[in-house]
């Protein structure tokens, strides 16, 4: 496939999807800008820590959304890849006494390769079969890491050196990574690659019959998505200075799914605001007797049942309607 066959996004004839994507991206940039300004107001290290963790979840949500929202591959393994990524710096330090400059890239490359392999393995599987296989992969990864006492110290976890002492420094590091991932996703989704992913999501057989290399683009999506989760995990490991198999619990995957579904699947802003809102609100609700998980799991069901487009979709519903009426008026 070459450029010529892709919808002519570059010719100035911008179709509805690229308009929506551009709007989506701009809104995501506004959120990032708001986050960038936040340390001017928020100075307590505790609140900054909460924001950092919420950005960790935003990275996982963006990574998972690339696979589930854009490519239609409903994986249940994002938390497992975050755990595997976090063990990159953990193991490099513990086993071989190599610095984080080796460990973090190793975590990212390792999860990218594992993600690519998983993508190869599950190529033919769809829907419930895919969900079960990725769930099994995630649980096997957690059991193996948790039981290899000699290599990973098992459930005790590993201590990881920190990148820097400054909370604010970490805050901007995470924010920079979120921004880089957003820009990267936007560029990809604008390009032919993004269109192919969407085509595979909407109709895999149809996409293949139009000459799209489904194998290549599906495995690419798996590798990228898992690498984003791995990077998030590796950075989070150095921030919390402890990695353990708990990072890969299925519950964590459930939280990531909740964030994306509430925010809006298949968008850029959706996972971002979903992660921030869910995590910040859950910290806030801790004060009211730990009801946050009840509220969010109920919200996920309500959103999946009644508001499938999520918060971002609800917010832009009106935008789309006005566009449609202007087109009709013309």
Q: Which is nearer to other proteins, 90 or 146 (CB)?
A: 146
Q: Which is nearer to other proteins, 211 or 289 (CB)?
A: 289
Contact 234, 104 (CB under 8 A): yes
Instruction: Tell me the C-alpha to C-alpha distance, in Å, between residue 187 and each of 18, 23, 149, 168, 278.
Output: 11, 14, 42, 28, 27
CB atoms within 10 A of CB 299: 16
| Polymer length in residues for the chain | 330
| Residue span 223-262 as binding mask against other proteins, x where in contact by CB under 8 A, dash where not | ---------------------------xx--x--xx--x-
Q: Which residue spans within the chain are E strands per DSSP? A: 158-159, 242-243
> How far is it, in rounded angstroms, from Cα 23 to Cα 319?
10
Tell whether residue 158 is a contact of other proteins (CB under 8 A): no
Beta-bridge partners for 159: 242
Tell whether residue 137 is a contact of other proteins (CB under 8 A): yes
Tell whether residue 144 is a contact of other proteins (CB under 8 A): yes
Q: Which is nearer to other proteins, 127 or 211 (CB)?
A: 127
Q: Which of 308, 317, 323, 324 binds other proteins (CB under 8 A)?
A: 308
End-to-end CA distance of the chain: 34
> How far is it, in rounded angstroms, from Cα 60 to Cα 235?
12
Cβ at position 258, least distance to other proteins in Å: 7
Cβ at position 227, least distance to other proteins in Å: 22
Q: Which is nearer to other proteins, 9 or 262 (CB)?
A: 262
| Residue span 197-216 as binding mask against other proteins, x where in contact by CB under 8 A, dash where not | -----x--------------
> How far is it, in rounded angstroms, from Cα 292 to Cα 310?
19
Q: CA triplet 61, 214, 225: central angle to 5 degrees?
A: 20
Q: Which is nearer to other proteins, 98 or 113 (CB)?
A: 113
DSSP letter at 9 equals S
Tell whether residue 314 is a contact of other proteins (CB under 8 A): no
Cβ at position 236, least distance to other proteins in Å: 21
Cβ at position 134, least distance to other proteins in Å: 10
Residues in 45-104 at the binding interface with other proteins, rule: CB under 8 A: 68, 72, 74, 76
The SS3 call for residue 123 is coil
Contact 56, 238 (CB under 8 A): no
Instruction: Tell me the C-alpha to C-alpha distance, in Å, between residue 285 and each of 43, 275, 277, 290, 305.
Output: 21, 15, 12, 6, 24
Q: Which is nearer to other proteins, 62 or 231 (CB)?
A: 62
Contact 178, 59 (CB under 8 A): yes
Q: Which is nearer to other proteins, 23 or 304 (CB)?
A: 304
Q: Which is nearer to other proteins, 140 or 180 (CB)?
A: 140
Tell whether residue 280 is a contact of other proteins (CB under 8 A): no
Which residues sit at the interface with other proteins, rule CB under 8 A?
68, 72, 74, 76, 121, 125-129, 131-133, 135-137, 139-140, 143-144, 147, 202, 250-251, 254, 257-258, 261, 265, 289-291, 293-294, 296-298, 300-301, 304-305, 308
């Amino acid at each position: 496939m070459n450029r010529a066959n892709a919808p002519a996004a570059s010719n100035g004839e911008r179709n509805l999807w690229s308009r929506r994507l551009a709007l989506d991206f701009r809104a995501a940039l506004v959120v990032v800008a708001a986050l960038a300004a936040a340390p001017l107001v928020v100075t307590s290290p505790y609140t900054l820590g909460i924001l950092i963790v919420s950005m960790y979840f935003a990275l996982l949500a963006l990574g998972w959304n690339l696979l589930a929202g854009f490519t239609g591959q409903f994986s249940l393994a994002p938390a497992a890849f975050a755990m595997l990524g976090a063990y990159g710096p953990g193991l490099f330090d513990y086993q071989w006494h190599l610095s984080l400059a080796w460990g973090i890239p190793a975590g990212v490359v390792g999860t990218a390769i594992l993600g690519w392999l998983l993508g190869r393995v599950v190529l033919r599987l769809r829907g419930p079969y895919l969900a079960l296989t990725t769930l099994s992969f995630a649980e096997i990864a957690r059991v193996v890491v948790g039981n290899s006492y000699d290599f990973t110290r098992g459930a005790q976890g590993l201590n990881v050196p920190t990148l820097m002492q400054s909370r604010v420094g970490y805050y901007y590091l995470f924010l920079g990574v979120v921004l880089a991932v957003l820009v990267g996703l936007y560029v990809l989704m604008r390009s032919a690659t993004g269109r192919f992913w969407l085509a595979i999501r909407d109709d895999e057989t149809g996409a293949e019959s139009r000459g799209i290399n489904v194998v290549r683009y599906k495995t690419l999506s798996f590798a990228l998505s898992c690498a984003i989760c791995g990077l998030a995990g590796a950075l989070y490991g150095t921030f919390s200075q402890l990695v353990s198999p708990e990072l890969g619990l299925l519950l964590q995957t459930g939280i990531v799914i909740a964030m994306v579904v509430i925010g809006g699947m298949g968008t850029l802003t959706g996972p971002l605001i979903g992660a921030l809102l869910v995590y910040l609100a859950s910290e806030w609700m801790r004060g009211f007797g730990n009801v946050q998980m009840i509220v969010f799991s109920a919200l996920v069901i309500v959103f999946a049942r009644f508001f499938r487009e999520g918060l971002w979709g609800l917010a832009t519903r009106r935008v789309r309607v006005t566009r449609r009426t202007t087109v009709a008026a013309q």
